[in-house]
Amino acid sequence: MKGILFAVIVLVFISGCTSQAGGISLKTISTDKAVYHSAELMNLSAQLYAESSLNVTVVVNGIENRFNVEKEISLNKGDNELSFTYALPGCNVCGGISAGDYNLSFTVRYKNLTIEDSTIINIQQ
């Protein structure tokens, strides 16, 4: 029974705590700003800790599925910082998005374990 519970997906929303599974800790995810403007560049960073060198899959998704990245990443033993840059879509009625708040989710997969965290950004005209 303990083995089944250990394999359950760990889901933690930003609350100042660290999410951890299988020797990996997702310390924080953050963006360089809380408010962005139409078509601006957004920088997303994640701080991870690995008890040993290992390969993980990282998935970043958000802004109505317009920001969708999946990468295999090698983590070094100790602290690791991952960075992603994304050109935000324009805020307009012709194929863009509406101004407002948008969720960004950050997922780390290692074997059958998953760590997930999320943050919200605001996009204005």
Residue 111 belongs to a domain: yes
Question: Rounded to 5 degrees, what are φ and ψ at 104?
Answer: -120, 125
pTM of the predicted structure, to 2 decimals: 0.76
- Distance from C-alpha of 40 to C-alpha of 18, rounded to nearest angstrom: 30
Is 9 contained in some domain? no
Per-residue pLDDT at 79: 97
- What pLDDT is recorded for position 95? 60
The pLDDT tens digits of the residues spanning 76-95 come to 999 999 999 999 888 776 66
For 16-74, write each residue's pLDDT tens digit: 345 555 689 999 999 999 999 988 999 999 999 999 999 999 999 999 888 899 999 99
Domain count, the chain: 1
| Contact (Cβ atoms closer than 8 angstroms) between residue 116 and residue 10 | yes
Q: Does residue 58 belong to any structural domain of this protein?
A: yes
Residue span of the structural domain in which 23 resides: 14-33+42-88+102-117
Strand-pairing partners, residue 20, are: 25
Query: What CATH number has the domain bearing residue 67?
Result: 2.60.40.150
The predicted pLDDT at position 99 comes to: 87
Nearest to 117 by CA among 23, 42, 25, 52: 25
